[in-house]
Each structure stands twice: as structure tokens, then as C-alpha cells.
Structure 1
Amino acid sequence: MSMVHFESEIEHLISKKGVHEDLPVSLLVEKSLERKEGMLTETGALQVTTGAYTGRSPKDRFIVDEPPKNHEIDWGPINQPIDADIFERLYFKVIEYLKTKDDLFVRHAYAGADSAYRLPIRVINEYAWHNLFAGQLFIQPKEEELENILPEFTVIQAPGFKADPEIDGTRSEAFVMISFAKRTILIGGTEYAGEMKKGIFSVMNGRLPDENVLPMHCSANVGEEGDVALFFGLSGTGKTTLSADEQRQLIGDDEHAWSANGVFNIEGGCYAKCIGLSKEKEPQIYDAIKFGAVLENVVLDQQTRMPNYNDNTLTENTRAAYPLTSISNTITPSIAGHPTTIIFLTADAFGVLPPISELTREQAMYHFLSGYTSKLAGTERGVTKPEATFSTCFGSPFLPLHANRYAEMLGEKIVQHDAKVFLVNTGWSGGPYGEGERIKLRYTRAMIQAALLGELNDMETNIDPTFNVSVPLHCPGVPDEVLWPRLTWTDTNAYDQKAKELANKFNENFKKFTSISPAIQGAGPNV
């Protein structure tokens, strides 16, 4: 079916009565309250719950198998193919469903702060609070731009539409489908707003490499001298926390791209995990949760309406969405120069990785492709003890193309701009999870500060015999013994055994990268 037909259906839908376009924050909050979609907290944020789906639903995510992009997609359990005819039938069903609604909410925005690479998008929502979320997370056009913005991608989220797997060809009632040919993301059956954000990120990961731009799942900040730092890491490693530094300006907390001009943010806001949030530990995030912010699945005190950030009754994955302007020391626009320091964050629950180590280019590509961290007990159903998990390029759920393409681009940019790369373990020391202790946040901050200031460049180092990485013998603000985890274990034989166990997991995981150069394959742990 032609793109013209798809566009005409959209235009017909958004021209109907009851469609609200580009409403300001205040009106979207009013609409949300009027429609009983959520409630105001004592801090002024809008609190909502998302029902059965409190996180992304990766098994219900599909990419439409159609030219011209299908020959480039890394098909498999993450990028699941779905036939174009299934997508088209479901698309028109969702459109007909939305036509029955008295109210619809439409927003025009951008993905990408650099005008040379930005993607104009249109977001169509059944719920007002979803449109508020989109307004906070994507980049808002200037008033004069709204009249002329021509969307190149459309996001449609209809949580009230439940698919019938037997009829619609889906796995469940929920579905997230990305069509590069029809330039559409179709979301139904789930109220989780993060599907919109990550859907567009997946689109950018599919498009930007064609323009020789590296998309990255990382946070970024910049120092007074213009020195840019990137922080890669999976959920729970401290990516958002560690990039929010009062001494540096925040570029963004989650999605960036590295072009010939430097780094730019893909988003206009932050989507911070807020379980256990406190003003003492994360003051910038805590203070950003005010009027206009959206709190997902955070439990409130019913009398005071104060959020209880320690309550995980609904989910561990409680979230706060707010614009970058809610952080006091952000850079506007969210564009900076080329990175001089790259941090790979991992939360090692086995307690054996050094808290900080410097990587060679080959080691950087090895660990980038590995994307290691630990999945902790209680975070997912069936997980009863820490499990090593590997997410390629620290973001495999959002990478449509083959991993080698992203890794090669990173390797080229590291060399071109002489960037220092560090592997930082924010996990455990003195023993594994349950026996040892999590590395103190103040130590991690001190190590990162030393890396950013270049204080580790001339520091004496030794090579870790198991993980083959260069570890500093000293670091300002950190006891020497903390830098070498083996010294923090009372039973060194137990440490050796656990380190060998993790090294084997690294090497077993890396076997899937068959077309990687021997130099990179040999940059991993020693077994």
C-alpha cells in the first residue's frame, strides 16, 4: 500500500473534531486530570499508573520486514520481523479505533538537537498524559517552526486498542511495530510511555549511521573547558546519576549521537529511574520533579500526595519524565564538541571487576560489543541470584542494524579524537552481591572526576591478570586497596574462582561476534 494512502488516513484522522494539537503543559495537565488519567502530587508533578505493563515489552516489539531497510536489519529475537500486510491491517484497525474517540492529542517535535541531523516527528495519542510525556521527552519546536514542520515519522499510541493474536498476528494484546518504509511507529495495548521514546531511538539508530553519525545509548556532560564526557551503561549502573554533576553541564541523560560536528542530544528531556530517589543523593533529579513532570507508577501517600520513592509495590521500574530545562546546569542547545573521555559503566554483582581501569581501543570495542552488567535478584521474575547479562553496545534492544557497524564507528572516532576510555564498576567489592558491599558512590565520583581531569593519565598502573585491563595503583579520594578488588576479599581463592567464572561468561558471550578482527577478539579477559 502506498505511502500516500497512509498519509491521507492520518490527515483525515487528525482533522476530525476533538483533536488537540500542540497543547501547552498546563492544558495537557488539566485534560489529564479532567479525564481522570492521573493525579497531582504535592510537588506539582502528574502521577500516573500504567496498568499491567510497567516497562517495555520486548517480546511484543517488531520491525516490519519490507524494503528498503530489511536487508540491513539484524534480524533475530530482538529485531523480530513481521509481515507488511499484518502491520497494514493493524494500522487501519487502530486508525478506525481512534476515530471513535472524542479527544485525541497530537504533538509535533524533533528528535536530534543538531538541525543538520534532526528528525521531525508527529505523535498521536489517545491519552493526554502520553502527549504530555512526548512533549517533555522530545525536542519542542520554536513557535515559528510549528507552522512549517513536516513530519518524517509518526508515532501512534493507542493503549485502549487490544490486539487479538489469533486474528492480528501479534504475540499478545500489546504490540510495538516500527515501519521504516511507512515511517510509522504503531503502539497498542500498553500504557507504558517509554515505548514512544525508545521507538524513536530505534528509528534514529537505524537512520543515523547512513549519515556517518554514531547513535549512542549514553548520557553526556561537558566541563568548563568544553571537555565532553560520555557515560554508557545499562539500567542500574548509575548512568543518569553520575552524569548529573553540579560541576559540569548536562547535555542529556540517555540518548546521543556523535557526528562530524561533535555530540548532540537526541532528546529534549530526561526519563530517570526513581526507585530509592532522595534529595541527598540525587538533588538535581529530585528537584526536577515538579509541575509538568510525569511520575510513572510511583506510589503516593493518599493523604499528603507526597511521592514515596522507596515503594516498589507497582514496580521497581518507577520513572520520572521531565524536560532538560528542569535541570539547572544544562547546556542549550544540547550540542557540544567531540568527547575526550568515555566511561563504560557496569554494576558487577560478582564483585571482581576493578572499580576503574583504562581500556585500549581494541579493549574499548570489545567491552562496547559486550555491554556487560549484572541482573540482580528480584528485578525480574525468575531471577533468584545475580546473573551476568550482556547487551550489545549497551543498548541492544534499540539497535536495528548489525552491532559491528556501531562498534567500528566508535573505534574510528576514538582514534580520530584521541578519546580516553575507562571501564568503571559501580557494583560490588569485598565479595559478591549478598556478601560484599556496593562500591561507595563518593569513591565512584572521585574516580570519574580523576579520569575527567586527566589525573589518571600519568598514574602508575598494573595489568589485572584476569581481565587484562590497566588499573591505576592510586586515585585521589579513593583508598588504594579499593582499586584492586582481590585485596578487599577475605578469601582470595574465592575471588579467583569468581573472577574466572565471570571471565568465562565474557568469552562465551563474545563467540557470537564471528566477523570481528583477532585484535578485538583477543582484547577480552584471560581464561
Structure 2
Amino acid sequence: MKNLRLERCGITQYDEIFYNLSYDELFRHETDAALPDSERGVVASSGAVAVDTGKFTGRSPKDKYVVNEETSRDKIWWGIGPVAPTTNNSDNQQISEETWYYLKDLCLKRLNGRKLYVVDGFCGTNEDSRMRIRLVTEIAWKAHFFKNMFIRPTAKELEGFVPDWTILDACKITCPEPQRHNLRTPVFVAFNMMERMTLIGGTWYGGEIKKGIFSVMNYFLPLKGMGSFHCSANMGRDGDTALFFGLSGTGKTTLSTDPKRLLIGDDEHGWDHDGIFNLEGGCYAKCIKLSPEKEPDIFKAIRRNALLENVVMDAKGVVDYSCDKKTENTRASYPIDHIERIVRPVSRGGHPSRIIFLTCDAYGVLPPVAKLTQDQAMYHFLSGYTAKVAGTELGITEPKATFSTCFGQAFLFLHPTRYANILGRKMEEHGSQAYLVNTGWIRGKYGEGERMDLASTRRIIDAILDGTLDEASFETMPIFNLQVPREIPGVDSGILNPRNVWKDKADYDKTCRKLAGMFMAHFNNFTDTEKGRALVAAGPQLDAEADAAYSSEA
């Protein structure tokens, strides 16, 4: 084995090193009967290996910390602090260099002298901007997860591999005195831009590895003038590329998986001078309620070399995908080539001609589709809106607005307007047209109306992608000032303007103003920059003129 120079990251002694094991070797290690239950994978009937991540079945964004150091101090979008609640929605809580070295020492004391797995991979299919990432862990299935999610180097590429960023995964340890070191809890996921290193302590959740490096790319790529976005991407037969932005529950995975198009990637993408490129070498799909009928591509991808997290199986290893006993956030990690219809040999495409922002509006206010100006696209990108129904355990049925800036707030290290500026510039340079698509409620809010049917939404997406909507006739929706098409082939034209299909028009107007107020309040987070202030006019407006427009139609 080559000299890995682990002393550079503080590993000076070890029992044994397993470096970039093959899938078959990882399978033997992670299913070893001698392992404790917390570390051992169980083989499912599909051939995939199922593991449990323990207490943490999702990311822990409130335990995310960034070192306040001189090279990045003036660039980071800082939250208020690790103890006091943030007021600007940033999860980037700062820690001192002293605290960093204390946490690093904890991790190194745990990892030194043990059997370790070291895995090297790339983040980014663009060779000019990709980062060389190294994971050091004592857990075999974590090495498997890394191998799935990152781009796997060739033997030749490994010969001279020197990491640009290192992850020390010491998930078995926690910080014994968090308050003393200004941490919220004993768990930590800490980043140091100057040392180019991540420390993970106390959480076994695989997604911390994946999303942590995505956050790192969200720091470095925009500083080079490149876009870095939380979105899926696909390509048509003629090479046309489309981006799909959307939060959980909006239909991003379902709608971007199209039998007429090839998948570029399902979650993380960069945008450079050549076009769109995938940052990953794998997929990390939610699999709650997964079925071969609704999502056949994902179902077929879960086989040997795939990794399942927190699923429930019977004695024969058959997974019950409907069961949320452990968590609703059950996941499947697999290499992207487990999906048949993908862009090959490299996951990249040209500049996107269409950009789609998906929202699930449970208030029933937003139209099924709206054509956006460039400024409106930047506004709705910064807003990152969807809505969820509040917990029924208290009998609450009022929808709850959710805003996740840039559709990926938890992964932003820079101020959100940095990403919006790049998106706007790229759209202008390459003539990209953006649309807002509502997959939520029509004919009333949640509890009164009905969910937009998938077949109609697919026809809308088709009309966007084939250019039909570019030439459509539009009318302006007051307050939100959105351009709404008057008709779309195969879609009931009556639902395209949402107010038309509400029985109580006055209730619609009231609900519309309520949602507009939420948008405006959230957007105040971005008026600390000149660009943010300039974009206020592209959002909803609550003024006498807008109210009069509705009153005249009542």
C-alpha cells in the first residue's frame, strides 16, 4: 500500500489500515458477524446491506460549527451563535480555533491506534474544479457510504492522490463538556476552511458526510464564479438540460425522473463555463413508501453494493418500505450507475435551457405554473418556499410555511445573495427560462381543496421542457405578480389561475395576502445587501393597488 501520509491529518499510529477497499471487500467487513450490532450490516433480500444509524436518523444542523479564522471570517454567512437562536436563518455557528483544536484532539485520540478505513474520492465531475476528498473512519459501512456517494478514482488517479479536504469521522465519541466549549450539545460537525478538514463526533448518520462536503463545495465553487446548487438535473434527447429545485415533498425526484430524459444527477450540481456537472458519484434516495410501481428506477437500484439506512426488515430480509417505526427518513445510497437511464460516461450536460422551482403550496394560493422573470427567479430561489401541514397530534390543520433559502439553507456557507447573483448571471448569459411549479393544493387550502394531480403536473413539466409554454398567452396574477398561462394542452385551463376555482373568493384573497406577508417577512433576511434590497420588488406586494385589483374582480 502506498504511503498515505496520514500524519498530515494527525493520524500517527494505527492497528491496521484498509485503503479504498473494493465493494466485495467492504461487504465482508461490514457484515462481519464479530461486529457489534451497532456497526454490523444485515443483508436484505435484494442484496443491499441494511444498517442502523442509531439515535440520529437525520442530519443535526443545529450542531454544525465553523471555525472563526482569518481566511474565511469575512466570507462566511454567520449565524448569531451556538447557544442563542439565530435570527438570519443561518446554521453557521462559529467556534474558536481553541475549541477546534480541542475537538480535533478528541477525534484523534479516538482514531489513533485503531483499525481504520481510509477512502479517497472526488467531489465534482469537472476535473478543473473537483475536490479530492478523504474519509478516515473506523466504521466499515461508512467507508461503503463514501464510496457510493463520491466519484470513484481510477487506479492511476489514486497513485498521486493528495486530499484537498479530509473528514475525520469519530462518530463514537462526543464532547464531554459542550457548554464549556460553547457547543449546543455533545454532538458536533465542525468545519475548518483553513485546515480544510471536517470533524464528526457523536452522530452516525451517513448524510453528514455527503452534505458536509456539499457545504464545502458551496463555499469554494462560488468564490471561483461557479454555481453550486441543491437541485436535480436531467437531459433531453436533443441535449437540452433542465434543473429541478425543490424541498422535500415537492416531487423533485419523481418529476426529474422522466422516461423521455436522461438523469445527470439527483441532488447536487455545479454550473461552470461549460454547463452543468454533477458533484456526486451516487444517489441518496428517500425510500419511505417506495414501490416498484411508483419509482421503479430507485427500486431496481437497491441491490448488491447499495446501502440501506434505518429500514425495517422481516426475518427473510424483505424490507417493509411502508414502515416508519425507526424514522420516516429511511434512505438508500447507491452508485449512480445503478440507474439505467443516466448521462454517460460523465454526469454533466450543457447550460440549462429550463429551470424549474417546485413548491408544494398547502395554502392553495400559488398557481400550478408561472413563468418567471430573471429577478423573480432570483427572488423565489432566495425564498425557497414550500408548505407543510402541521402535526395532527394537536388537532392543527393549518398549513405551515417553510422557507429554505436557495432550496438548501442548511448547506450554505456564503451569504445567499452570492448564489442568487450567480444564478441570475448564468441565466442571463445562457438564456435560461425559469418557471415556478406548484405541486400542492388547488380549489382551496389543505383540508378544503385537493392536491394537484401528478398527471397534470407532468403535462405542465412537458410543456415547459418542449417549449410550448414559451409561446403561451399569459395573464398577471395580482399581489404575487406572476405570469400565469391561460391554457396548456391536456390541462384543465380552469385551474391555471387558482382564484378562479376557489368557491369563496374573499377567503382566497385573505389567504393570498397572508402568504404574501410570510414571503415578505422572510425576505427581510436578505435586505442587508444591495442586491437583496433590489429584489424586493420582484416578490409579492401588499399595497392598496394590489388589493384593489382583487376587489374589482370579486
| Class of the TM-score when normalised by the shorter of the 2 chains | over 0.9
Over aligned residues, Cα RMSD in angstroms? 1.9
Mapping for residues 42-121 of structure 1, pairs under 5 Å: 42-76=45-79, 77=86, 78-101=91-114, 103-121=115-133
Structure 2 residue matching 1:267: 3-state secondary structure: coil
Partner residue in 2 for 1:292: 305
TM-score (norm 2): 0.90
Structure 1, residues 20-41: CA drift from partner, whole Å, max 9, x if none?
Answer: 1101112212211112422111
CA contact (8 A) 2:372 2:436 kept: yes
**Which of the numbers 522, 531, 535 marks the counterpart of 1:520?**
535
Q: Are residue 12 (structure 1) and residue 35 (structure 2) matched?
A: no
Partner residue in 2 for 1:353: 366
Partner residue in 1 for 2:440: 427
Q: Are residue 204 (structure 1) and residue 217 (structure 2) matched?
A: yes
Mapping for residues 131-146 of structure 1, pairs under 5 Å: 131-146=143-158
Greater Cα shift, 463-472 or 55-64: 463-472
Q: Distance in 2 between matches of 1:405 and 1:126?
A: 37
Structure 1, residues 126-178: CA drift from partner, whole Å, max 9, x if none?
Answer: 21111111111111101211111110100121211122114554221211001
CA shift in 2, pair 1:31/1:384, >3 Å: farther
Q: CA deviation at 1:285?
A: 1.1
Structure 2 residue matching 1:463: 3-state secondary structure: strand
Structure 2 residue matching 1:349: 3-state secondary structure: coil
CA shift in 2, pair 1:171/1:379, >3 Å: farther
Q: Are residue 130 (structure 1) and residue 142 (structure 2) matched?
A: yes
Partner residue in 2 for 1:25: 23
Mapping for residues 241-280 of structure 1, pairs under 5 Å: 241-280=254-293
Aligned residues: 519
Q: CA deviation at 1:384?
A: 6.8
CA shift in 2, pair 1:124/1:421, >3 Å: same
Aligned residue identity for 2:507 = A
Structure 1, residues 302-348: CA drift from partner, whole Å, max 9, x if none?
Answer: 23322112111111211111111010011121111101000011111
Q: CA deviation at 1:8?
A: 3.1
Aligned residue identity for 1:162 = T
**Which of the numbers 317, 321, 336 marks the counterpart of 1:309?**
321
Q: CA deviation at 1:363?
A: 0.5
**Identity, % of aligned pairs?**
46
CA contact (8 A) 1:6 1:182 kept: no
Structure 1, residues 333-383: CA drift from partner, whole Å, max 9, x if none?
Answer: 111110100001111111111111110011111111111111333499998
CA contact (8 A) 1:90 1:168 kept: no
Q: Distance in 2 between matches of 1:55 and 1:9?
A: 27
Structure 1, residues 241-293: CA drift from partner, whole Å, max 9, x if none?
Answer: 21111111111011001001111111111111121211111111111111111
CA shift in 2, pair 1:395/1:481, >3 Å: same
Aligned residue identity for 2:276 = V
Partner residue in 2 for 1:194: 207
Aligned residue identity for 2:17 = V
**Which of the numbers 183, 187, 191 marks the counterpart of 1:174?**
187
Partner residue in 1 for 2:333: 321
Q: Distance in 1 between matches of 2:55 and 2:276?
A: 37
Q: CA deviation at 1:430?
A: 2.1
CA contact (8 A) 1:316 1:379 kept: no
Q: Distance in 1 between matches of 2:526 and 2:377?
A: 15
Partner residue in 1 for 2:547: none
CA contact (8 A) 1:213 1:259 kept: yes
Mapping for residues 503-514 of structure 1, pairs under 5 Å: 503-514=516-527
TM-score (norm 1): 0.95
Q: Distance in 2 between matches of 1:174 and 1:479?
A: 51
Greater Cα shift, 484-493 or 71-80: 484-493
Mapping for residues 382-401 of structure 1, pairs under 5 Å: 385-401=398-414
CA contact (8 A) 1:62 1:80 kept: yes
Q: Distance in 2 between matches of 1:155 and 1:250?
A: 29
The gaps in structure 1 that reach 5 residues or longer are none
Q: CA deviation at 1:526?
A: 2.8
CA shift in 2, pair 1:6/1:48, >3 Å: closer
Q: Distance in 1 between matches of 2:316 and 2:257?
A: 29
Q: CA deviation at 1:443?
A: 1.4
Any runs of at least 4 consecutive aligned residues in structure 1 with deviations exceeding 6 A, and if so which?
379-384
**Which of the numbers 455, 466, 476 marks the counterpart of 2:489?**
476
Structure 1 residue matching 2:511: 3-state secondary structure: helix
Mapping for residues 354-369 of structure 1, pairs under 5 Å: 354-369=367-382
Q: Are residue 409 (structure 1) and residue 422 (structure 2) matched?
A: yes
Structure 2 residue matching 1:456: 3-state secondary structure: helix
CA contact (8 A) 2:476 2:482 kept: yes
Q: Distance in 1 between matches of 2:64 and 2:537?
A: 34
CA shift in 2, pair 1:401/1:6, >3 Å: farther
Aligned residue identity for 2:153 = P
Structure 1 residue matching 2:380: 3-state secondary structure: helix
Q: Distance in 1 between matches of 2:76 and 2:395?
A: 31
